[in-house]
Structure 1
Amino acid sequence: MTDGSRPEGAPEPPALSTLTTMQVGGVPARLIEPPTREALIESALEIWGEGDDWLLLGGGSNTVASDDGFDGTVIRVVTRGIERLDAEPGRIRLRVQAGEPWDALVAHTVRNGWSGIEALAGIPGSTGAAPVQNIGAYGQELEASLLGVEFLDYETGELRWLSHTDLGLGYRTSVLKRGMRGVVLSVDLELADGNDPSGLGAPLSAPIAYAQLADTLGVPLGSRVSVAELRRSVLALRASKGMVLDPDDQDSVSAGSFFTNPIVSENFARSLPANAPRWPITPPEPDTVLGIEGGVVYPQDIPALADGPYDVKLSAAWLIEQAGIRRGFGLPGSRAAISSKHTLALTNRGGATADEIVQLASYVQARVQAEFGVVLHPEPILVGMVL
């Protein structure tokens, strides 16, 4: 079955539109759901050995698939399990199977009073996909808690441990997103035990590092609140932007943020309007006190410049809005539209095709490039389509 065809008499798999949060995508040739780690390894090796085209699918929250389906085997990762491992006092180490739903994992850690991923509540998808994208939100990044992953390597067919360093993590990327093929089997995390040893106080979160979240909670940046309170506030903020899956909210029928925030050079960022939001990725050198003799600053007293220009992260949402695209915008006759709550999300308003989603994304991309010279890059994986 190396051509990806379905065995004679086998039932037709479900359409990818039923397995992805964007709710687009045709029927694949074959779909399997190995229930255990061992079955997942065995199935993946068998498919790779056949030479069949294959697609890995977790929660489907970061995948936009073609209406033509997929001419190969979809391996849907559904393995479950959260195991606590030995760790230093005050630290919590967890090994989480790849198919464990991410938000269920966050809820589990909050119930136990462990901190480190509570601001990542409400992000849809599976735990195994989290390192691929190096997820982050509200001032908290997965990489701060990620120790590494167990990985089945497509090239060698061998099991590997990929450490935090091996994963080459960056802003919404990793070596797994940049071309290393295989299957994440489990994820190891290290969290802080936020519980008060006396048992009198509520478990505390990590220090709050995002201004909007701090404002919502009514506390200064750097404060710590209960992990439960912080998770509730994050879920409320995400829901206000249509970023929490809700069958009653059409804005949540999306792949979350469709574009990543662009990273540009410092010089390019200076060419943008003064009110354009920007965040230095590599800060400039700190101020230095110069030695002055007789009122003259001598050349040897002037410190060397930083090693090259630094990078700056821009707001994709701001660029989209300033390019004239408003919330709720859609192309004439299309069933795809910008979210009515957040310009960074493209939504399926009911019965949209994958082509309609990509047409809208291409239009947004072209408008921003024409207005600011910035090319927005899609965050979700596009299957059978190019943007």
Structure 2
Amino acid sequence: MTTLAELTTMRVGGEAHLLLAPATADELVEATLDAWGSGEAWMLLGGGSNMVVADEGFDGTVIRVLTRGIEQLSEENGRVRLRVEAGEPWDALVEYTVQNGLTGIEALSGIPGSSGAAPVQNIGAYGQEISTSLVAIDFLDYLSGERQRITAADLGFDYRTSVLKQGKQGLVLAIELELGRSTDGLGAPVAYAQLASSLGVTLGDRVPLALVRDTVLALRSSKGMVLDPADPDSVSCGSFFTNPIVGENFARTLPEQAPRWANAPEPSSVAVPLGEEPAAPPVQTDFRVKLSAAWLIEKAGITRGFSLPGSRAAISTKHTLAIVNTGGATAAEVAELGRYVQTRVFSEFGVRMHAEPVLVGVSL
């Protein structure tokens, strides 16, 4: 019997009561509707890269989303629209876009998982997020059983979340992206300091698409964030915690050296007629600050490679944001280490850490 540990990158999780793997989009819809109509528990599984499943397994139907395909819908004024089936591996999609001179998601290279799962948590890295390129999703709604086209504007995107992660249930069947056509082989302006430093350029510079991809893959690999059978640090969910977002006043109480980034939009420009005084700017009442989860974990005394006594779950030796399975770890051990990290950070800084992966039958 196949266990969910065999189908997830964390390599933990027991058996599913029923495991289905529909071969076509129509079969996927049919199997999903049947599961919903049965009244039993159900779960959708893409690449399995962002979940921790309980050791007891899942007492219900697990439907694997394996449908693949990339179709160009249109090209106009240097903008190209693609339809991507939900089961298409995300990094295979990024590789396709780079090879075909399309720009907009090249900095998202190396992120594991499926394309259909990408909008759920608004994946992002190195200055890019899927929300900036996504046009719409083809969605099978759980409540109505009907297929819908939901635009990006209606998905409630925010930092590592969307309405799909906040309670809207259903199945993403495909995603529609709009990307730029690179006529000179260069990617979008580099928008992340670490990436710019690795490329040897300044923020805002443009460099070849292939070079961006290769550099991002190298950066992720150095952190154990690229799936690699030869790298034990890649047996994980990637980043286990999101970067906390707190109020500005609270952020001021943290040590001065704690990294932080403003998480509020820039005020919009206002045109003022000649001779008139501009109105006072609106009072910013909800200014938010994003903190570095890795810095908080390290400064709370949790070092790379740390593990609890007797546990086979450990902090990655390359990056403190990742919890890895060093070999034979259980979901209970992963969760125990996650809770320990939360406790230490909260005790030291008063900051609550939130898990990034989906927890199935597991709690922190």
Instruction: Give TM class, smaller chain.
Output: over 0.9
TM-superposition CA deviations, 1:97-118 (whole Å, max 9, x none): 0000000000000000110000
TM-superposition CA deviations, 1:207-230 (whole Å, max 9, x none): 000011001111111010110000
- Letter aligned with residue 219 of structure 2: L
Of 285, 299, 305 in structure 2, the residue corresponding to residue 322 of structure 1 is: 299
- Letter aligned with residue 151 of structure 1: F
Counterpart position of 1:384 = 361
After superposition, the CA RMSD in angstroms is 1.7
1:254-273 equivalences under 5 Å are 254-273=236-255
Structure 1 residue 44 displacement after superposition = 0.6
- Letter aligned with residue 221 of structure 1: L
- Structure 2 gap ranges (5+): 269-276
TM-superposition CA deviations, 1:169-221 (whole Å, max 9, x none): 0000000000111000000000000123xxxxxx1100000011001111111
- Other structure's SS at 1:92 match: strand
Q: Does 1:349 align with 2:349?
A: no
Counterpart position of 1:226 = 208
Of 102, 115, 131 in structure 2, the residue corresponding to residue 114 of structure 1 is: 102
- Other structure's SS at 1:132 match: coil
TM-superposition CA deviations, 1:100-154 (whole Å, max 9, x none): 0000000000000110000000000000000001000001111110001000000
Counterpart position of 1:91 = 79
**How does the TM-score come out when normalised to structure 1?**
0.90
TM-superposition CA deviations, 1:36-74 (whole Å, max 9, x none): 111111111111111121011100000100000000000
In 1: Cα distance, 2:56 partner to 2:267 partner: 52
In 1: Cα distance, 2:285 partner to 2:227 partner: 43
Structure 1 residue 283 displacement after superposition = 5.4
Structure 1 residue 303 displacement after superposition = 3.7
Q: Does 1:281 align with 2:263?
A: yes
- Letter aligned with residue 121 of structure 2: Q
Counterpart position of 2:189 = 207
In 2: Cα distance, 1:253 partner to 1:222 partner: 34
Counterpart position of 2:337 = 360
Q: Does 1:332 align with 2:320?
A: no
Residue 284 of structure 1 contacts residue 310 of structure 1 at CA under 8 Å; is this kept in 2?
A: no
Structure 1 residue 385 displacement after superposition = 1.1
- Letter aligned with residue 285 of structure 2: G
Q: Does 1:160 align with 2:148?
A: yes
In 2: Cα distance, 1:72 partner to 1:377 partner: 27
Number of aligned pairs? 358
TM-superposition CA deviations, 1:281-315 (whole Å, max 9, x none): 115769xxxxxxxxxxxxx9994552314001000
Q: Which protein is bigger by CA-based radius of gyration?
A: 1
- Letter aligned with residue 371 of structure 1: E
In 2: Cα distance, 1:270 partner to 1:170 partner: 23
In 2: Cα distance, 1:284 partner to 1:267 partner: 19
- Other structure's SS at 1:105 match: helix
- Structure 1 gap ranges (5+): 1-11, 197-202, 287-299
Q: Does 1:72 align with 2:54?
A: no
Counterpart position of 1:22 = 10
Dislocated runs of 4+, deviation >4 Å:
283-286
- Letter aligned with residue 327 of structure 2: G
TM-superposition CA deviations, 1:84-106 (whole Å, max 9, x none): 00132211100000000000000
Q: Does 1:245 align with 2:227?
A: yes
